[in-house]
Structure 1
Amino acid sequence: MLSHYATILISLEDAPVPVERILQIPADFTLDFVHMFLQEAMGWRDEHFYCFHTPLGSIYPDTDDLLGEATSNLLDHEVTLRDVLPEVGACIHYVYDFGDNWTHLIQLLEWVPEDEGLTQVLSASGRCPPENAGGVFGYEEILKTLGSAGNDESKQGIIEWLGVSEWDPMDPQLELLQLNLNDLIEEIFSQADQLPDEDVAAQFITHDEDYELPGLLHEFLARPYDAPEFLEIVIPDGHAALPITHVLAPTFLALRDRSVPRAPAFEREIAPTDILTQPLQLEEHALGILECTDLVTVDKGSLTLSKRGKQVLPQAASTELTLALLRAGLGAYNWARFGGHSDIPAIQFSFPLVLWKICETEDWTPLHAYTDYLAQLIPDIYFECQSPFMGPITELLETYLRRMTLVAELFGLVELRKEAEPTEAEIRPGPNAHWLQWHL
């Protein structure tokens, strides 16, 4: 009898296009079954060896070829997911294909009672790289070739090797992932001579009326800016350019003639411990957000205009440019991972929820009222993480004050009245907050 389901975040580290899944699976399944679930949820074909790097040591399948690499006496069929992810926020790594070395960060986001859980993919972004692509750098070269102009032999050879006429790295093919996962579930239960329980409606965290969550919690928290049923962005005619476009104006001008360097923070160096006290570098954050759009392409350490960027950038206040930057900004501040960083604690999922609450009132409200709301809503929220953009996440209020400052100064979605002490800061919807049409 299962006692809980585990909601886990799976993030493919250093992928040229973010590839992430939120998966709900039984917490008491052993890691050999977890491996099978990961393969189907990601889109891999289970053609190579794998292992788990956990607090208990490196755990391998019961295969003679691999046991010499283990740092644990345990095998994957002897350890459950609960054993290696004992509490919300805990992380392990899953490595698939020791040649390509695809490394996945797995983090426990939430426990769900057995009678309220389902084995399912709750959300997905980014297409799984093809098998035998050559790892991160090989896949980067494949995408670069596919995105090049013309149709030379190299490009045609990759298309033939992929076996598809088009390859969209941003499309996770969610329906196919769930279908394959369902097939796996039926196979597991049929081998155990029992049928799976009938699907039950997913019921998530519930609190008293003051702390009620919107329905479909995980989908909303994961990627609200990609889900029209939750958030629609309506930009009025004749709107003024966003502040971020003024910050990026010199970059836009330079991009017309040449490539520009990426933001220094993309060097993936751990931020200094005093980053929360340092002045915000709006230019670096703005560059990071620009990189999250389809207006530029990344080539090693520089940015160049994409075909769409050449059409859009000349008009600083155009709806296309505004929408691209706003969607990318919401995404970046939700995940705090501009450069593909995989250190994603549960705090990242809480950002859109707080923004939604702020937009519900026109009054000045202490910022700590929203972080208090968040702490009661998700009491197991995990803060112990460092991000090169947001700094050491040790204090929820300081982190949100820094983040909301950027949202205010780059997008005008909120207004802040900052005082000497973070506890005294007040916030209300900004002049552009009405562009966000929440459907909750």
Structure 2
Amino acid sequence: MTRQIFQLKVSLPDVTPAVWRRVLVPGGYTLDRLHRVIQHAMGWQDYHLHSFDIDGLQYGEPDPDGELALRDELDVRLDMVAAKGSRFLYTYDFGDWWEHEVVVEDVFGPEPDERYPICVDGEWACPPEDVGGAFGYTEFLAALADPGHPEHEPMRGWIGRPFHAAAFEPDRVTTLLRRFC
């Protein structure tokens, strides 16, 4: 079987400005491994539960208590459930409900001397963990942008570090992907 590379565009459709990443991953990756790619590419910290919704089927880490009916993501490879033109959802953090749209933009053979996965493009920083979903992120950005906003100082204190919404470095993400995925 020929090894195929999937070009995926992962985006947060409910966030403005648009946060998205374009990654190249082997089609033989399990959905568990794709989860790790999305986590590192987007900038999440993997603190929360997640699931994939592909053609109406839910995949994720099986719930030992049986409360979430998820198919085991370790048993499913990307190339088994997606092809060029496919679209599916990846949801992270069931409280904040970060819904990612994943589009398979292309499928092609690997470059002979290239290592995968790779982040080739993207825009804007990932929202911080536990910011309150898309609405909370909008409020967070508004507070940070306006020193006169009543939540400006509390939000700066909460984030505890400089936050640059427009910052994104694909090469840095590729380094993380190769180290941890």
- Alpha-carbon distance in 1 for matches of 2:15, 2:56: 27
Look up the equivalent residue of 2:50 and give its one-letter code. Answer: Y
- Alpha-carbon distance in 1 for matches of 2:44, 2:13: 15
1:55-74 paired onto structure 2 within 5 Å: 55=55, 57-65=57-65, 67-70=66-69, 74=71
Q: What SS class does the counterpart of residue 58 from structure 1 fall into?
A: strand
Which position in structure 1 is the counterpart of 2:141? 143
- Alpha-carbon distance in 2 for matches of 1:174, 1:157: 30
Contact 2:62 2:68 in 1 (8 A): no
- Alpha-carbon distance in 1 for matches of 2:90, 2:62: 16
Greater share of strand residues, 1 or 2? Answer: 2
- Alpha-carbon distance in 2 for matches of 1:100, 1:56: 22
Look up the equivalent residue of 2:165 and give its one-letter code. Answer: P
Greater share of helix residues, 1 or 2? Answer: 1
- Alpha-carbon distance in 1 for matches of 2:140, 2:56: 36
Look up the equivalent residue of 2:95 and give its one-letter code. Answer: G
Pairwise CA distance, 1:62? 2.3
Look up the equivalent residue of 1:158 and give its one-letter code. Answer: M
Higher RCO (Cα < 8 Å, 6 or more apart): 2
Alignment partner for residue 154 of structure 2, among 157, 166, 170?
157
Which position in structure 1 is the counterpart of 2:94? 98
Look up the equivalent residue of 1:168 and give its one-letter code. Answer: H
Pairwise CA distance, 1:115? 4.2
Which position in structure 2 is the counterpart of 1:107? 103
- Alpha-carbon distance in 2 for matches of 1:151, 1:145: 5
Q: What SS class does the counterpart of residue 179 from structure 1 fall into?
A: helix
Q: What SS class does the counterpart of residue 69 from structure 1 fall into?
A: coil
Report Cα offsets for 1:19-74 as digits up to 9, x if no partner: 01000011011101110111001100000000000115111212325x4332x6x3
Look up the equivalent residue of 2:72 and give its one-letter code. Answer: L
Report Cα offsets for 1:285-308 as digits up to 9, x if no partner: xxxxxxxxxxxxxxxxxxxxxxxx
Report Cα offsets for 1:244-301 as digits up to 9, x if no partner: xxxxxxxxxxxxxxxxxxxxxxxxxxxxxxxxxxxxxxxxxxxxxxxxxxxxxxxxxx
- Alpha-carbon distance in 1 for matches of 2:26, 2:152: 42
Contact 2:120 2:170 in 1 (8 A): no
Q: What SS class does the counterpart of residue 119 from structure 2 fall into?
A: strand
Pairwise CA distance, 1:182? 2.2
Which runs of at least 4 in structure 1 moved beyond 6 Å after TM superposition? none
Q: Which runs of 5+ in 1 are unaligned?
A: 186-440
- Alpha-carbon distance in 1 for matches of 2:94, 2:61: 14
Contact 1:50 1:60 in 2 (8 A): yes
Residues 148 and 115 (structure 1), Cα distance of their counterparts in 2 relative to 1, 3 Å cut: closer
Report Cα offsets for 1:298-343 as digits up to 9, x if no partner: xxxxxxxxxxxxxxxxxxxxxxxxxxxxxxxxxxxxxxxxxxxxxx
Contact 2:117 2:174 in 1 (8 A): no
Residues 184 and 110 (structure 1), Cα distance of their counterparts in 2 relative to 1, 3 Å cut: same
1:23-422 paired onto structure 2 within 5 Å: 23-55=23-55, 57-65=57-65, 67-70=66-69, 74-85=71-82, 87-116=83-112, 118-150=116-148, 154-165=151-162, 167-185=163-181
Looking at CA atoms only, which structure, 1 or 2, has the larger radius of gyration? 1
TM-score (norm 1): 0.39
Pairwise CA distance, 1:151? 7.1
Pairwise CA distance, 1:16? 2.2
Pairwise CA distance, 1:2? 6.5
Q: Which runs of 5+ in 2 are unaligned?
A: none
Pairwise CA distance, 1:168? 1.9
Identity of aligned residues (%): 27
Q: What SS class does the counterpart of residue 67 from structure 2 fall into?
A: helix
TM-score (norm 2): 0.90
Contact 1:129 1:139 in 2 (8 A): yes
Contact 1:44 1:128 in 2 (8 A): yes
Q: How many residues align?
A: 179
CA RMSD of aligned residues (A): 1.9
